[in-house]
Structure 1
Amino acid sequence: MNINTIKSVYFIGAGGIGMSALVRYFLSKGKEVAGYDRTQSELTEELIKEGANIHYEENISLIPDSCKIKKDTLVIFTPAIPQTHKEFTYFKENGFEILKRAQVLGMITTTEKGLCVAGTHGKTTTSTLTAHLLHQSHIGCNAFLGGISKNYKTNLLLSETSNYVVIEADEFDRSFHWLTPFATVITATDSDHLDIYGTREAYLESFNKYTSLICRGGYLIAKKGIDLSPAVQEGVKIYSYGITDGDFKAENIRIGNGKIVFDFISPFGNINDIKLGVPVYVNIENGIAAMALAQIAGVSNEEIKNAMPTFSGVDRRFDFKIKEDNLVFLSDYAHHPAEIRQSISSIKALYPDKKVTAVFQPHLYTRTRDFYKEFAESLSLADEIILLDIYPARELPIEGVTSKLIYDNIQEGKVKTLCKKEELLDLLKKKEIEVLITLGAGDIDNMVPQIYNILKK
């Protein structure tokens, strides 16, 4: 099927952050776009305003007639959708062309130079910052992002002139194996998605396979010290990066007065006095990776230096909602123990004298089962911990796997609470909050506006 000649595109799981970028892409191409999502959200409502026909009930009769014409319709699904989904079953039984999101991205990007960011964590911020650097330069880019850019209020950037496309390369369900990167960053290979991979060895092998897909003459930029055995094609140049160690790194780091400034050291030319637009320590590392990709794409050092301080960040990635002298509230998508450790450590470094309260909604029963001790250890960095029930996403419950596994392993002496999601707002009304951070990849973000109102009162 030629995606340029199809008339209709139907999405099963339209409201996912990665899927919604494709919804916007096909709307921009003038296609009729419709789809299903399990839950109504701010994002799905925006997509409807932009022209998509989205419903929230698993119901074949709600599929528009135009999307039931097999020869004209492409169906795109997220792997998070169960195989028993009624609409998915309807399209499958009737012989429609059905593709994963990653397959479609792979097709779109065969004619463009892919600048891809893979890794267990850091990929959304790094890819969005990369897109920002290119978009602000004479190079430009197309970009399919895994978060909403605060600079552009979207997860899709389009250019009529640039042959570069920035992509967040997701290892879930081996999705990134559909891509053919020109240049890729790999941020981390900490174990995750063991429900898909089974073992750490299989997870690491997936990253090694991904490196074999880099185009001949392309670039691999891997975080210094990560567990990776790249199997690259002939002519692929391999570089390392890190905050203070690697081919790309930072020197002369200055932190103070809410600012972070450093000198960027690079094989393609150093840049002094880089200012971070979102001054969080981990963004030094993310910034180094993004600047490396930008230099490879031909963005000038002056353009990079000018664009770095104007980066506003990504929704739900260390996302400040309230930033006052006596009250701080931020939302973060962190859902892996390493991400939570990084997130709480960063906030403690910014506010060393304040009490940090963390609200965590675990994401997936399997991830909780596999990492409950590591979650407890990371959350113990906070002064007070509130644990919500597990957000199941695509999974059915597993006997004996609840948030209490994490709760029971939190460090002795910490103030900790197990709390139903519907009781969270009442609980927060009774708390003396200094710094509050909500963590998780589930639907806790939907509560952020209500939490904001409570804290402001």
Structure 2
Amino acid sequence: MNLNQYHNIFFLGAGGIGMSALARYFVARGKHVAGYDLVPTILTAKLTAEGMPIFYRDEPVDIPEGFTDPGNTLVVFTPAVKEDNHLLRFFRYHNFEVHKRSEILGTLSSEYETIAVAGTHGKTTVSTMIAHLLYSSPVGCLAILGGISKNYNSNYLYSGNPKYFVTEADEFDRSFLKLRPSMEVVTSSDADHLDIYGTEMELKNSFEVFIKNLKNQGLLVIKEGLDLDTSTIEPGKVLKYSLSGGGYFAENLRLFPGHTIFDLILPSGRIDNITLGIPGEINVENAVAASVVALNVGVSEKELRNGLKSFKGIKRRFEVQYNSGQTVYIDDYAHHPKEIDALVGSVRKIFPDKKITGVFQPHLYSRTKDFSAAFAQSLDLMDEVFILDIYPARENPVAGVSSALIFDKMKIKHKKLCNKENLLTELAAVKHEVLLTIGAGDIDQLVLPIQLMLQNPPKSK
């Protein structure tokens, strides 16, 4: 696919986090970009302000002038767009070049030395850390990210004439198999997306195909203990890491509410007293993975130290939204039981004596059905939990599947089902020490109201 032959790029699902980063890339390349999404969001408003017209009716008549020429317009769509979408059908009927986002990323991956970060969780934080370490050093990079970097308030980075392309390798819909990386990172391979894969074994097989797709002489950075076949990679090209084992790991962790200090252990030695600019034990493991990559592409020890210290994190990833000293409020994107385990475990180690209250919004009917028991166990790690209705995303309701499926399996005493409309009333009646909002849906719309509630608590009668 020759991307240079198109002057106009139209995005179906432009407001998606990965789609918007790709849209910004094409704008930077001098393309005319427009798009459609189901509803306006903060992100689509930013895209419009950056010169990308976005509309919200599924009507071909709304397609902007200039984007109706099949010979000069490339159409990119996300799997979240359903096959009966009128716009998608219009573009196909009129013989436009129509491709999934993953196919476009696959084409880009052949133009650079691509660093692809895969994993059922952890990939957004690790890829954003890698991008920051490279971008803030002379090495530089192009980065198309799955989260908003708080350092740059963007999911897109580009330094002049970069050698490296940093991107997430998304396992959903087997998208990551379109990539041809020069370096791969695999953070995790826990069962997920069983609506796509059917079985955990099929998911595992897909990760192993991803590993086999690594370019010859490429490096594989993989978490210690993952049950994945790496035999197709030269042994010297497989670098293993974890929080506390493998060739690369951390020691002497000092956890604080706003940052962490640790020693990085390497096969060739150690780098002591590294400051990571964000809190959480899980983020130390992420930093280890990012450091392995950075050191192997030419980032110096001094640049690594400066980069990790200056790293501000990603929006909605262990993001501290409020801290009065008595009450701490953290918002997180966790939507898988293992992610909730890691989140709550990290919070407990920073605040061992505080009560943890969680607000959880399940994401997808299929995931709720497949992992209801595991979600219940993970939520039981907190002291008090409010469970919101399921956020459906791309799915239609499934008979017999609701948040009650998780709620009924939970064992803690203090738990409650509620909806978004009455959540603030419920929270206002509770004394908070550590409050977590958890989920990948639209629970982020509650962050500001919760902040305001905590800043101005209702007066007792």
TM > 0.5 = yes
Alignment gaps of 5+ in structure 2: 457-461
Distance 2:403 2:396 in 1: 15
Are 1:432 and 2:431 an aligned pair?
yes
Of the structure 1 ranges 419-428 and 330-339, higher mean CA displacement relative to structure 2 is found in 419-428
Of the structure 1 ranges 188-197 and 302-311, higher mean CA displacement relative to structure 2 is found in 302-311
The AA in structure 1 aligned to 2:424 is L
Distance 1:388 1:40 in 2: 23
Distance 2:293 2:232 in 1: 18
Deviation (angstroms), 1:447: 1.9
Distance 1:235 1:73 in 2: 45
The AA in structure 2 aligned to 1:169 is A
The AA in structure 1 aligned to 2:113 is K
Q: Is the 8 A contact 1:278 1:312 kept in 2?
A: yes
Q: Is the 8 A contact 1:27 1:33 kept in 2?
A: yes
| Alignment root-mean-square deviation, CA | 1.5
Distance 2:258 2:97 in 1: 52
Alignment gaps of 5+ in structure 1: none
The AA in structure 1 aligned to 2:427 is L
- Partner of 2:4, secondary structure, is coil
Are 1:79 and 2:73 an aligned pair?
no
What is the correspondence of 1:275-424 to structure 2 with a 5 Å cutoff? 275-413=275-413, 415-424=414-423
Q: Report the equivalent of 2:117.
A: 117
Distance 2:232 2:323 in 1: 45
Deviation (angstroms), 1:255: 3.5
Distance 2:343 2:210 in 1: 27
Q: Is the 8 A contact 1:141 1:162 kept in 2?
A: yes
Q: Is the 8 A contact 1:216 1:235 kept in 2?
A: no
Deviation (angstroms), 1:225: 0.6
Rate the CA distance shift 1:252–1:425 in 2: closer, same or farther, 3 A. closer
Of the structure 1 ranges 186-195 and 2-11, higher mean CA displacement relative to structure 2 is found in 2-11
Q: Report the equivalent of 2:131.
A: 131
What is the correspondence of 1:88-103 to structure 2 with a 5 Å cutoff? 88-103=88-103
Rate the CA distance shift 1:433–1:412 in 2: closer, same or farther, 3 A. closer
Rate the CA distance shift 1:257–1:446 in 2: closer, same or farther, 3 A. closer
What is the correspondence of 1:269-280 to structure 2 with a 5 Å cutoff? 270-280=270-280
Deviation (angstroms), 1:306: 1.8
Rate the CA distance shift 1:268–1:142 in 2: closer, same or farther, 3 A. farther
Q: Is the 8 A contact 1:58 1:86 kept in 2?
A: yes
User: Alpha-carbon deviations, 1:81-140, whole Å to 9, x = none?
Assistant: 111111111112222111111111111121211111101111111110111111111101
- Partner of 1:111, secondary structure, is coil
Distance 2:428 2:383 in 1: 18
Of the structure 1 ranges 37-46 and 141-150, higher mean CA displacement relative to structure 2 is found in 37-46
Deviation (angstroms), 1:258: 5.5
Of the structure 1 ranges 101-110 and 424-433, higher mean CA displacement relative to structure 2 is found in 424-433
What is the correspondence of 1:38-49 to structure 2 with a 5 Å cutoff? 38-49=38-49
Distance 1:303 1:29 in 2: 29
What TM-score results when the alignment is normalised by the length of structure 2? 0.96
Of the structure 1 ranges 135-144 and 260-269, higher mean CA displacement relative to structure 2 is found in 260-269
Q: Report the equivalent of 1:453.
A: 452
The AA in structure 1 aligned to 2:215 is C
Distance 2:249 2:212 in 1: 25
Distance 2:257 2:97 in 1: 55
Distance 1:152 1:77 in 2: 26
Deviation (angstroms), 1:433: 2.2
Distance 1:405 1:257 in 2: 34
Distance 1:94 1:347 in 2: 53
Distance 1:259 1:123 in 2: 20
Deviation (angstroms), 1:412: 4.0
Deviation (angstroms), 1:256: 5.3
Q: Is the 8 A contact 1:120 1:192 kept in 2?
A: yes
Rate the CA distance shift 1:259–1:73 in 2: closer, same or farther, 3 A. closer
Distance 2:17 2:141 in 1: 19
Distance 1:66 1:411 in 2: 58
Rate the CA distance shift 1:451–1:264 in 2: closer, same or farther, 3 A. same
Deviation (angstroms), 1:234: 6.0
Q: Report the equivalent of 1:63.
A: 63
Q: Is the 8 A contact 2:255 2:349 kept in 1?
A: no
- Partner of 1:4, secondary structure, is helix
Report how many aligned residue pairs link the two structures: 456
Q: Report the equivalent of 2:441.
A: 442
Distance 2:333 2:343 in 1: 10
Q: Is the 8 A contact 1:216 1:234 kept in 2?
A: no
Deviation (angstroms), 1:426: 2.6
Q: Is the 8 A contact 1:242 1:288 kept in 2?
A: yes
Deviation (angstroms), 1:431: 2.5
Distance 1:259 1:314 in 2: 14
Distance 2:392 2:184 in 1: 31
Distance 1:445 1:49 in 2: 22
Rate the CA distance shift 1:259–1:420 in 2: closer, same or farther, 3 A. closer
Distance 2:437 2:189 in 1: 24
Q: Is the 8 A contact 2:256 2:350 kept in 1?
A: no
Q: Percent identical across equivalent pairs?
A: 47
Q: Report the equivalent of 1:211.
A: 211
User: Alpha-carbon deviations, 1:159-191, whole Å to 9, x = none?
Assistant: 223211111111000010011111111001100
Deviation (angstroms), 1:441: 0.5
Q: Report the equivalent of 2:459.
A: none
Of the structure 1 ranges 147-156 and 422-431, higher mean CA displacement relative to structure 2 is found in 422-431
Of the structure 1 ranges 432-441 and 398-407, higher mean CA displacement relative to structure 2 is found in 432-441
